[in-house]
Chains A and B, each alone.
Chain A
Amino acid sequence: MESFLNRYRNITVLLLTILAQLVLLSLQVKNDQDVRFIRLWTVTAVSPLAKLVDALRGGSIGFVRDYIRLHDSDAENRRLRQEVDRQKLEIVFLKNQLNTADRAGALQLFQAKIPSKTLPASVIMMGLGTNSMVFVDQGSLSGVMRGMGVLTPDGILGKVTTAYPTSSQVLLVTDPEFAAGVVSGKNHARGTLKGYDGHLCKVDYVAFEDPVEPGDWFYTSGDDRMFPSGFPVGVVKSVQPGQPFKEITLQPSGMARGLEDVLIVLDAVHQEIPDTPPGSQPVYVAPPPPAAGDAEVAIPAAQGAASGTEADRLKAAYKASGDAQGHTFGDDAPHSKPPDFSKVPGAGTGPAAKAPAPANPAPATKDTAPEQKRPGGGQ
């Protein structure tokens, strides 16, 4: 170092001297923006270094931060995955709970609706080696006996083949050994339901002349003394003509929603065979609300409409006509003058009775007077 300074002593002193004077100058001179050169030069000289230091600091800190963040993100990723898995399980659990609640509600509603005495039960396991046998959690201690039918709100499911104290073995309708009496809802074609291949059923002994078409519904007939009549069994998938019986394949409806909750028929009460499929039965629709002026006629109309069928309405019209003529039905002496029914509207024109609306069976009575006084009634 000393030799270096000796060798370049002159130039070093020159530079130092000039530098010192430059510093001196910079302390006094300002640039056009009124900033002293010492400040300008200092900032200009320091700024790049500061930038460099800051870049190094930012880079190193950013690297460390990114590393830590990545480390955290990895841990967070694992945690989120676990959370997602847990949520998925919870969703599945809640869905199952919801389905169970739905099924339980539907089963409860169905149980209250049908006249037969039934016992709710849950399927607890499948039979080994077969898909057409299950076990339910109600047994002989609950009153279950061999031969009892098993239902779901969608249709029949099977029959109890063995009743254990706390559980029962149920043979499903799809088992080839299962048999039950059925009848079609549309044309009342009777037959015997049998399991077919573990998934479908067939209806045997339906005469070839009985009209059965795909889409027809079959119901229990009650002939088997196992199921009460009128419960849905399934819908016809295919019909093959045969001699002497048709070959009918049936899609059972009782397992449409799976095997979860069932009803065991303890005391069967027969029902009517519906003539429409379960899913398309008529739905009651309330009449539209009357206008303000219709309030007075709404009441007698409701009274007259108490009977629902066309025959009831026709009967009410005849009875009203007889009453108007002072005739007492069932008490007239022989050879007495019969009432004149020729004035009964629609009489003799057929049952289609283009007859007056049954809601207004006696237009001459006082009860109907308000109808003629109503505003806008034609007066």
Chain B
Amino acid sequence: MELLVASAIGIMTAGGLYLVLRLRTFPVILGISLLTYAVNVFLFGSGRLTVGAPPILRDDVTAYTDPLPQALVLTAIVISFGMTAVVVMIGLGAFLGSDDDHVDDQPDDADKKADGAS
């Protein structure tokens, strides 16, 4: 089981990293989302894996899983939505303003700027 979770984290990280290194905004945003999943699961894993012992207190149960990583990851998930939304908005604004969704400065743009400045 641990192998499955760890490898899933690894695979999601690898996919996320690859997509983050792409040249257009949309794949980069998806890459960041994939990385977010990986990070969240990784943090969640810091409470170790427990099956069938949710941290809901019951009278006849004594073993529970670690609730703290869950609480932290819960807010992380919500915040990551806010972050994704902001990044998407920035990417969208840039695209609408210039009809270009590259994440890198384009060489001809840089030349134009340099010409304008001189």
A-B interaction: no
Hey, which bits of chain A sit against chain B, CB under 8 A?
Answer: none
Hey, which bits of chain B sit against chain A, CB under 8 A?
Answer: none
